[in-house]
């Protein structure tokens, strides 16, 4: 078969691809294929559950944290960072209030000195 152009080659490739897709679809679109696939997935999931349990037991026996333990620690770290941020903000506000109070007291001390100085002159 002689191909006359790039378009003929593209058309041939597209026809081959369509034939392959039709063949895959016809084989995969059957009850037996669906049942086999379902059974294979169930078996795979059973292996995953067993592997996870075995891994957890091994980590426990060796005194190592599981991913759940690490996730819990990470959660607590985030909570503590939030608390620390709130405490930092509160401390900043308290310090600003103390500073403002000191300025106010210094002003009041000057006023008191003025008052006591002016009353002794009379």
DSSP code at position 29 = S
Q: Are residues 4 and 44 in the same domain?
A: yes
Q: Are residues 71 and 115 in the same domain?
A: yes
Q: 2 pLDDT exceeds 70?
A: no
Domain end residue (candidates: 19, 35, 64): 64
- The pLDDT tens digits for 29-53 are 888 888 999 999 999 999 999 999 9
Q: Are residues 99 and 85 in the same domain?
A: yes
Q: Are residues 77 and 117 in the same domain?
A: yes
Distance CA 34, CA 40 (A): 10
Q: 121 pLDDT exceeds 60?
A: no
- pLDDT averaged over every residue in the chain: 91
- Tell me, yes or no, if the pTM score tops 0.75: no
Q: Are residues 55 and 79 in the same domain?
A: no
Query: Could you count the other beta carbons within 10 Å of the beta carbon of residue 97?
Result: 10
What DSSP element (H or E) covers 46? Answer: helix 31-61
Q: Are residues 55 and 21 in the same domain?
A: yes
Distance CA 5, CA 21 (A): 24
DSSP states of 61-116 as a string?
HTT---HHHHHHHHHHHHHHHHHHHHHHHHHHHHHHHHHHHHHHHHHHHHHHHHHH
Q: Are residues 2 and 38 in the same domain?
A: yes
Quote the domain boundaries for residue 37.
Answer: 1-64
């Amino acid at each position: 078969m002689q191909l006359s152009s790039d378009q003929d080659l593209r058309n041939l490739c597209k026809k081959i691809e369509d034939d392959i897709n039709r063949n895959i679809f016809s084989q995969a679109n059957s009850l037996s294929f669906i049942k086999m696939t379902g059974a294979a997935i169930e078996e795979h999931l059973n292996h995953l559950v067993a592997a996870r349990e075995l891994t957890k037991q091994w980590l426990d026996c060796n005194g190592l944290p599981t991913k759940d333990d690490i996730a819990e620690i990470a959660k607590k770290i985030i909570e503590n960072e939030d608390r620390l941020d709130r405490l930092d903000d509160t401390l900043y506000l308290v310090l600003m209030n103390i500073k403002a109070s000191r300025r106010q007291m210094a002003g009041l001390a000057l006023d008191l000195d003025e008052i006591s100085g002016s009353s002794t002159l009379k």
